[in-house]
Structure 1
Amino acid sequence: MNISSPIKLAVIGRGLIGSAAARHLSKMGHEVALIGPDEPADFSQHSGVFGSHYDEGRITRVYDPQPFWRQMNRAAISRYSEIAAEGGVEFYREAGALHIGDRETTDVASVGQACADEGIACEAYQDGALAQRFPFLKSTVGMLGYFEPRNAGYISPRRLVRAQTIAAERTGARVINEPALGISENGSGVTIRTRSGSVEAERVLVAAGGHTQSLLGRSLGFTVYARTVALFRLGAAEVQRLAGMPSMRCLGPKGDNPYILPPIPYPDGQSWLKLGGDPVDRRLDSEADIKNWFRSGGSVDVADRLQGQILDRIRDLKFEERRVMPCMTTFGDTGLPSIGPLSKRVTVAFGCYGKSAKCSDELGRLGGMALLGEVRAELAPLTGAQDPGAISAIAP
């Protein structure tokens, strides 16, 4: 595959942020190519890149401890219906989100304060009232909960990516179903090498998640961490019993603070309850580390711990099967994503802190605007932003 004439703009990464950036840029009338492979059919046999959107449930809500992420959440959630209409794919369910913790040992009260300060719709419950409102909870003694009933619940990241991609194609974007193996910049543009040939572009946005730094051949101050999630298949009776269950954030010390999704239908026709919350951060320092992690299938030890936590929190839970899945996330020192230029022709948009699925549309929009020259200074990459040199890297 060789494209004879350069494309104006290319986005590398067909995940949550990349697909959003392509939609926004294409909708603005720009010529865009969105480059990245489909979801792997079999993790254990896959030799290419991996993404972090391969499931059906991520918590969405407006509240976040940090004002920046609350701003991102509001902006993205306000466009959910627009994205669904443009892409023809529904991906959001307003099931609400419950933030819950021991009122003596956690900062759960700060959730209510932030919601009050910012006008986020929120209901407070504790002890018996909490048990009455959410009867599936195993214990509520000494517990305090804040419930966001609106603009909260869960999204399917897989379906959101599909909606963004279709919407981008409908406004003229070209989707190239190939992994980017390397990029090199010269005076007139950027060459993107794929398995089938090369793509020439005038400017490129790299939104490749945990693969971003290795693709560029430089560190931008972010660390990639392995994550494990556990899925529990429920029978029809349990699905019906938990029909009113919202998404949940359990506040507590690291390793005892799982996030929990209610039963969600998956492509296999079954309903699965999902939770995550790794007790220890496991670094993935190279492309080989990332690929080996995904091929491993995740940590059974973490899944065992998560199983204990779900049984401690959901009253009389009965599940028929457990499934373990690997994932990854990126963390930096500022608490903010990296969205801005590395050179005259190469821009990045990545750094999710485990928070970006719900607000990926706004992060993608900011990435697209940065590619066009409109950059929020606080998000500019910590290293390389002033580097006038060209990018030249080949991913291992």
Structure 2
Amino acid sequence: MRKRDQTVPKAYMYMYLYNKTMIIFLQERSSTSQRDIYGGHYDEGRIYMQSTSDPVWAKLAQRAIPRYSEISKESGIEFAVDVGCLSVGDRGGNYITAVKDVVEKDHINAQVLSGADVCSQFPFLSISNRDEAVFESHFAGYISPRRLVKAQIAIAKKNGCQHIQDVVRSVTRVVVNTNTDADSVMEVTTDYGRRILARKVLVATGAFTAFRNLLGVEVYPDTKLFPLAVTKLEISEEDAQKIKTMPSVLYFGKGGDDWNKDYPVDPRAPVVFYMLPPIRYSDGVKVLSYHGDSCVVDVAPSNRPYIDRIHSQLGIAIAGNGYAAKSSDEIGRLAVELLMNGKWDIDVPKDLFCAKLKSDCGQSKL
């Protein structure tokens, strides 16, 4: 299994606002690499849209997505493709009803379409008449996680941030004696033997947080890791042109009558997936084929990200819950403001993002 978290909050673009900031971040894993920890952004497509069935996640997305153009302009790197997004589900069902509620309350520019409307507007899609859709034509589509990370690191480095390519082994608070006094600082050690002292440390390591002592000895985030299946279908240039107007699609329902449902899932469970339009990958594979892949997401009991301070010198921004790639810029910004200034400047209660920790025996530490 490819151990890939769905997101790592992009805090480093905001950390450069503070003096002598360092980011420790990994190069992409090669086919011969033996390391067991690497990043969560090594692919070319993640969905983004401003609406969702959860109003909290929607608020984070609405804060992050409008900054995409600013990040692209400052870095010179394009990473978002504004093809629109269809959220589809059973008409009258909990999912699509919740999405429509968010659209109305947050004044999102979107259309509500019947299944027949979807098939008329996008004839290459097969959507049941039992379904209903919310279509966002702007501020929605897909992003390249690779290029988003590249853009944000470029901005951080341009503003004086030091980029270290290494794996962190431990983060601890230590006492350093000076000529006049003793001072508490954070010590970061790495697999390559580096020892870095810092006033404050923000941990944004996703599914890999429990793989090392990053929050204290034998203390881990209260999250669970879940695998997700990924299917990549290669198509011809001719077919790609035929469906070039295809939006991103997020589906939560019973599926269409003509859909192939021969897969090992509980028939009582809903069909849930998201699908992206044709994306050109850098390997340029020409052979038409199916590819299977997998990833892992870290899920908190609250189904919300942990954006919190473990103590005054250690912050945390993890638990993407499979939703956070599109919102990672805002999650990172909130985490930096909280750690560095104690500020919380979003109209969502802070206690929704409080971290829960557990020791090696599974007991809660908070």
Relative to the length of structure 2, the TM-score reads 0.82
Q: CA deviation at 1:16?
A: 5.3
Match of 2:89 in 1: 101
Match of 1:265 in 2: 280
Q: 2: distance between equivalents of 1:246 and 1:136?
A: 11
Q: Secondary structure at the match of 2:12?
A: helix
Look up the equivalent residue of 1:349 and give its one-letter code.
A
Match of 1:280 in 2: none
Sequence identity percentage: 28
Q: Is the 8 A contact 1:17 1:363 kept in 2?
A: no
Q: CA deviation at 1:218?
A: 1.6
Match of 2:362 in 1: none
Given the alignment, which residue of 166, 188, 191 partners 2:187? 191
* RMSD across aligned positions (CA): 2.2
Specify every segment of 5 or more residues in structure 1 that has no aligned partner in the other structure, as ranges.
1-13, 272-318, 385-396
- Alignment of 1:123 with 2:111, yes or no, is yes
Given the alignment, which residue of 365, 376, 380 partners 2:354? 380
Q: Report matched runs for 1:57-96 at 5 Å.
A: 57-96=45-84
Q: Deviations over 1:108-130 (max 9, x none)?
A: 23322321222111112214322
Q: How many residues matched?
A: 321
Q: 2: distance between equivalents of 1:357 and 1:109?
A: 24
Q: CA deviation at 1:228?
A: 2.2
Look up the equivalent residue of 2:283 and give its one-letter code.
D
Given the alignment, which residue of 86, 99, 107 partners 1:111? 99
Q: Deviations over 1:142-198 (max 9, x none)?
A: 221110111101111111111111111000000001111122211331221113222
Match of 1:149 in 2: 137
- Alignment of 1:179 with 2:175, yes or no, is no
Q: 2: distance between equivalents of 1:148 and 1:226?
A: 29
Superposed structure 1 runs of 4+ greater than 6 Å apart? none
Q: 2: distance between equivalents of 1:230 and 1:242?
A: 18
Q: Secondary structure at the match of 1:52?
A: coil
- Alignment of 1:358 with 2:354, yes or no, is no
Is the alpha carbon distance of 1:209 and 1:238 closer, same or farther for their aligned partners in structure 2, counting shifts above 3 Å?
A: same
Relative to the length of structure 1, the TM-score reads 0.76
Look up the equivalent residue of 1:353 and give its one-letter code.
N
- Alignment of 1:34 with 2:23, yes or no, is yes
Match of 2:42 in 1: 54
Q: Secondary structure at the match of 1:71?
A: helix
Specify every segment of 5 or more residues in structure 2 that has no aligned partner in the other structure, as ranges.
176-183, 255-268, 345-349, 359-366
Look up the equivalent residue of 1:161 and give its one-letter code.
V
More displaced 10-residue stretch of structure 1: 217-226 or 342-351 = 217-226
Is the alpha carbon distance of 1:156 and 1:369 closer, same or farther for their aligned partners in structure 2, counting shifts above 3 Å?
A: same
Look up the equivalent residue of 1:264 and give its one-letter code.
I
Q: 1: distance between equivalents of 2:185 and 2:201?
A: 9
Q: Secondary structure at the match of 1:258?
A: strand
Look up the equivalent residue of 1:209 and give its one-letter code.
G
Q: 2: distance between equivalents of 1:97 and 1:15?
A: 19
Look up the equivalent residue of 2:227 and give its one-letter code.
A
Match of 1:241 in 2: 242
Given the alignment, which residue of 295, 306, 313 partners 1:345? 313
